[in-house]
Amino acid sequence: MRLLNLFRRPDRSAPVRRARLCLEALPERWVPDGTGSIGTNDPIYLTGPIDNPPVIVNFEAVEVGDGLFNIDGTVQDEDPSGLAVTFSGPQTAINGQTATTWSNGYFSITVQFRTDGTDSGTIKAQTVDRAGHPSNVVREYITP
C-alpha cells in the first residue's frame, strides 16, 4: 500500500494567491476607427525617422590669390558629418577632388587653377548621404 501513499494530498492547505488589478496610463496610441482602409499617410506607417536627401547650400568659389580659389559650402542633412562632397568640372585641378564635411555640414577645399584662361568654366559639387540619397548639384562659374 505504499504506492497509494505517493498520490495522497498533503495535509497543509495551499496558500491564498490573489491577483491585484491596477490601472496605468498609456502613451497616445493610434486606434483605427474602422471607417476605411489603411492608407500610406496613416500614422501606422510613420514609425521610423524620415531620411531626406542632403542639400548643398551657400556654395561659393572665392579667388584668394592669383588663380587660388577657396571653394566652400554647407551640406544640410539629418547627419551631415563626414560626408564626401565630390567636385567636377572641365578643369583638371578640380575634377574628381573631394572635401569631407564637418559635424555642422561645412566643407571647404582650396584649389590652384591656371591663370592663362584655360581653366575658366563651371565647377560642380554633389554629395551622397549614408542612405544613398544624392544631393542637389550646385554650380559656380570661375575665371582665374
pLDDT in tens, 36-80: 444 555 555 555 567 889 999 999 999 999 999 999 999 999 999
Query: Please, what is the average pLDDT of the chain?
Result: 82
- 138-142 and 106-112 as β-strands: parallel, antiparallel, unpaired? unpaired
pTM for the predicted model, two decimal places: 0.65
55-142, what's its fold? Immunoglobulin-like (2.60.40)
- Find the mean pLDDT for residues 77-98: 93
**Distances in whole angstroms, Cα of residue 25 to Cα of each of 22, 28, 29, 65, 132:** 10, 9, 11, 66, 40
